[in-house]
Amino acid sequence: MEHPTAALVALDDTWDLPSNRLLESLSSRARAELRPCLERVAMHRGQVFNRVNTPIKHLYFIERGMVSQVKIMRDGRTVEIGAVGIEGVADPSGIFHIEHAILESIVQIPGTALRIERSPLLQKMATNAEIARLMQRYAAVALNHLMQTAACNCLHAIEQRFCRWLLIAHDNALGDSFPLTHEFLAMMLGVQRASVSIAARGLQRAGLIDYGRGRVTVVDRRALENAACECYGTLREQFDSLYERVESHRRRGTL
């Protein structure tokens, strides 16, 4: 169920330079083909785009903000196993012929997205080879993202995972400060609230972040990267490599 006050915003001339990396990687001709199917929407913190076992009606190309891909257990506990930001689209599984959501898609960092109905997107993929290839390549990287995050949740310390999460959020908030509560982050990381509080105090004392009143500000980005586990760098490299390959193919005319 979507946020009841989500506002639609008409696309204007700025659409020709979208801030979503996936759309930005398309040729102007391919973007023009998608444009009539897209509508800009506001993303509100805590908003649910797709609930588990419900039909995937829309996909969202994130322009600013972040959406968590969350697994919910029978006892109500949840853990984030992936996140989608300005480099991609939520929910990636909708690219394939998967009609019902297998994960919960929850807005973590507010912002905006370009929304498209699933059926028109699949139709464009069926008739436009460029759109189909790019979406399929993105889906493969998104799957690797889910697997990397699942491994990270099992193998790395809470402090490292906290830093990874902050870096991803920082990338997609497009600003140094963004909303965050201990309760919400503990739920996403699958740990106790006290563990998040201890980690946050440690990072604040070390001068990496400033935290209070439900907001966090990244103070020392480089130190935060050094404190994170390998997963942040791995995930960043995978997406950068994807879009570098796309650009290389476009220059050679082989996209």
Q: Which of 139, 169, 184 is the last residue of a domain?
A: 139
pLDDT in tens, 130-174: 999 999 999 999 989 889 988 998 899 999 999 999 999 999 998
- Tell me which residue of 42, 53, 61 sits closest to 3, measured CA to CA: 42
Tokens representing 103? 């994960």
What pLDDT does residue 254 have?
Answer: 59
Residues 133 and 170 in one domain: no
Same domain? For 59 and 182 the reply is no
Judge if 35 and 134 occupy the same domain.
yes
| Residues 123 and 161 occupy one common structural domain | no
| Same domain, yes or no: 123 and 52 | yes
Domain boundary among 75, 105, 139: 139
129 plus 217 within the same structural domain: no
* pLDDT confidence band for 224 (50 / 70 / 90): very high
Output the pLDDT for position 191.
Answer: 85
Nearest Cα to Cα of residue 40 among 95, 118, 116, 98:
116
How would residue 187 be classed by pLDDT, with cut points 50, 70 and 90? confident
- Claim to verify: residue 81 and residue 194 sit in the same structural domain: no
The verdict on 132 and 190 lying in the same domain is no
Band of residue 185 on the pLDDT scale cut at 50, 70, 90 = confident
Taking residues 215-223, report their average pLDDT: 95
Q: What is the CATH number of the domain that holds 104?
A: 2.60.120.10
Q: Say if 161 falls within a structural domain.
A: yes
pLDDT at residue 66 in the model: 94
Domain identity same for 23 and 124: yes
pLDDT at residue 2 is higher than 50: no
In a domain, 209, yes or no: yes
Is residue 97 in some structural domain? Answer: yes
**174 and 81, same domain (yes or no):** no
Q: Please tell me the predicted confidence (pLDDT) of residue 47.
A: 94
Q: Global pTM?
A: 0.87
- What is the domain count for the chain? 2
- The mean of the pLDDT values for the chain is 87
Do the domain assignments include residue 106?
Answer: yes
State the residue range of the domain holding 171.
Answer: 157-228
CATH number at residue 171: 1.10.10.10
58 touches 43 (CB < 8 A)? no
Does residue 240 lie within any of the structural domains? no
| pLDDT beyond 50 at 245 | yes
Residue 248 counted as domain residue: no
Same domain, 100 and 219: no
Residues 180 and 84 occupy one common structural domain? no
Structure tokens at 58: 């829309």
Which of 80, 113, 139 is the endpoint of a domain?
A: 139
Taking only the tens place, the pLDDT of each residue in 75-121 is 888 888 889 999 999 988 888 878 899 999 999 999 999 999 999 99
For residues 149 and 232, give the distance between their C-alpha atoms in angstroms, rounded to a whole number.
9
